Amino acid sequence: MYMKQNTYKKILVAMIGVITLLIVALYGVSHYMLDYSLNYPKDERMTAAFWKKRLQNECPWTTSWMDSVYHHHLVKDTFIVMPSGYRAHAIYLYAPQPTLKTAIVVHGYQVRAEGMLHIAYLYNHDMGYNVLLPDLYGHGESEGDHIQMGWKDRWDVMRWSAVANDIFKVKCEERSEKNQSSLGEGKDSIKAETCQVIHGISMGAATTMAVAGEKTPGYVKCFVEDCGYTSVWDEFSAQLKEQFGLPAFPLMNTTSALCQHKYGWSFAEAQQIDQVRKSTKPMLFIHGDKDAFVPYTMLRPLYEAKTKGRKALFVAKGSVHAMAYRDHHEEYTRIVKGFVSEE
């Protein structure tokens, strides 16, 4: 009897030891995965020059415009302090002619404002819009040492939207007054808000959808999401399987809990698809059918989740992740222009 009890004790101790080791190992792997996914120190960020050169290679039709706006110092920098306390950066361009039409263009994962200059070209050069391109938290010249996957970024983009409204509304009023004065007309300026589209690619599209589910001011008219994910949980689960061949459970659960503890949000709560369900303003959905990074299969659930407000769909044939504009820039421009012009 004594020998049996002693054997049971040894087995129990061994089991406790194994479980403890598994917990410690799981915590270590979860910590590694969180840092691997979200840690992004400033000294590892690609420069503005890198992104401008890359876009000129990928979208050569934008080169002369890009050279011109920088040569004539038309690209402006601005910094603001967000309500959360960090210093944030954006670049912006005025439209060639006075207008209240404005695009907020949101970059993706480990990109920066200058990495979206091809979409700025679409709006500024092809459509005559004012454009503002923010650096999200932890990207470009903005403060922050980690990536928020478009979730908490939604509040910052909404703040940038308000800043853009102030910048471009005032400028349009000033230019209108100057034109009226030169014509000998009265000085009643145009007291109107901007008319904004928020357009994001990849994580920027996830940010755009997250914004769409919140109550936005009347000057935000519509949204364009290009290859965004259904949720942070879904995206990381897909990459966990694709890159490491691992199932979601239990690593996603523990890493999400660690993210909640460290950064104040969890993968489970960051549900872009739920934000789309809540959205009421028009939204254009774009996705390349060869996208494996944000799987193309996420497009249909997102599109079907939007049951309120106008919507449209553009499938970029043969395009991999975030390359729909590069591969189909004329069709892309025509579809975006047609969609946003209805507002």
pLDDT at position 25: 73
Q: How many CB atoms lie within 10 A of CB 29?
A: 17
Q: Are strands 101-106 and 220-226 parallel, antiparallel or unpaired?
A: unpaired
What's residue 189's pLDDT? Answer: 47
Both tokens assigned to 166? 């102030």
DSSP β-ladder status, 130-134 and 101-106: parallel
Are 90 and 78 contacting, i.e. CB atoms less than 8 angstroms apart?
A: yes
What pLDDT shows up at residue 187?
A: 46
DSSP 146: B
pLDDT computed for residue 188 by the predictor: 47
Mode of pairing for the β-strands spanning 130-134 and 76-81: unpaired
Beta strands in the chain (DSSP E): 76-81, 87-93, 101-106, 130-134, 195-201, 220-226, 283-288, 311-316
Q: In whole angstroms, give the CA distance from residue 305 to residue 68.
A: 42
Given this model, what pLDDT does residue 172 score?
Answer: 73
In DSSP terms, 283 is beta-bridged to 223, 311
Domain 39-231+270-340 in CATH 3.40.50.1820? The answer is: yes
Q: Which H/E stretch holds residue 35?
A: helix 2-38
pLDDT along the chain (343 residues), means of 10: 64 63 78 96 94 97 98 98 96 97 98 98 98 98 96 98 95 63 50 93 98 98 98 97 94 96 96 98 98 98 98 98 98 98 89
Note if the pTM is more than 0.85.
yes
